Amino acid sequence: MTDSIAQVTADVVACRICPRLVAWREAVGVEKRAAYRDWEYWARPVPGFGDPDAHLVIVGLAPAAHGANRTGRMFTGDRSGEWLYRAMHRAGFANQSSSERRDDGLELSDAYITAAVRCAPPDNKPLPEERHNCATYLERELALLRNAKVVLALGAIGMEAVASHEGMRPRPKFGHGAEAALPSGRTLLASYHPSQQNTFTGRLTEPMLDAVFARAREIIEA
């Protein structure tokens, strides 16, 4: 059977391989956060989304418990997404600078967003076996996104997922703005994850994030 992004999406959403993550994501969807008590939480694995002809693929860590695990779309409805979509809008990869729900009109241009792990993990820390179980979905997406020239990893786990997929030895060292040539011929870029832990402390600033997207655009247009 020929694979497709639509098939990967269906397989991701139906996945129940990791018992710990299944229990956690569903419990969060029932308990909810007070501010979102009127929401019907997605509480399932979150698929990637965006332009299937994208030259830029963004790989995050995992859905946030009350962000994508609530809304059903990566980086939608949380503080990390506020930073990411503002930067993508400024760089011309998104048609709007914010995203609060799946049907809010957000469209990505020449970009596709996915993650190393598709279920919200407790404390944002997936276990090694959970990362391994999810790896096949990223592998399939990267194989299907044939036009991709740049893979932007948000955080060390995202970078490790990409490097592992490409079979890189030794692994490239993570750091904000780090760049490496992948065996596939694509370029791997790295950025600090736009989590509150990084943005509230000033470890990641908007100019720093803008610079990474500017570099991605430069590589794409070369």
Give residue 101's pLDDT band: very low, low, confident or very high (50, 70, 90): very high
Predicted confidence at residue 40, as pLDDT, reads: 97
Sign of CA dihedral 130, 136, 137, 138: positive
Q: What is the pTM of this model?
A: 0.97
Kind plus residue range of the DSSP H or E element containing 180: strand 179-181
pLDDT digits (tens, 9 = 90+) for 23-65: 999 999 999 999 999 999 999 999 999 999 999 999 999 999 9
The β-bridge partners of 57 are 112, 151
- Domain 5-221 homologous superfamily, CATH: Uracil-DNA glycosylase-like domain (3.40.470.10)
Q: What is the mean pLDDT of the chain?
A: 97
Q: HSE (CB half, 13 Å, CA atoms) of 80?
A: 23
Give residue 78's pLDDT band: very low, low, confident or very high (50, 70, 90): very high
Kind plus residue range of the DSSP H or E element containing 138: helix 128-144
Predicted confidence at residue 1, as pLDDT, reads: 73
Output the CA angle 207-53-158, nearest 5 degrees.
50
Spatial distance between the Cα atoms of 109 and 88, rounded to a whole number of angstroms:
9
Q: Tokens at residue 221, please?
A: 């247009």
The β-bridge partners of 153 are 59, 190
pLDDT digits (tens, 9 = 90+) for 120-173: 999 999 999 999 999 999 999 999 999 999 999 999 999 999 999 999 999 999
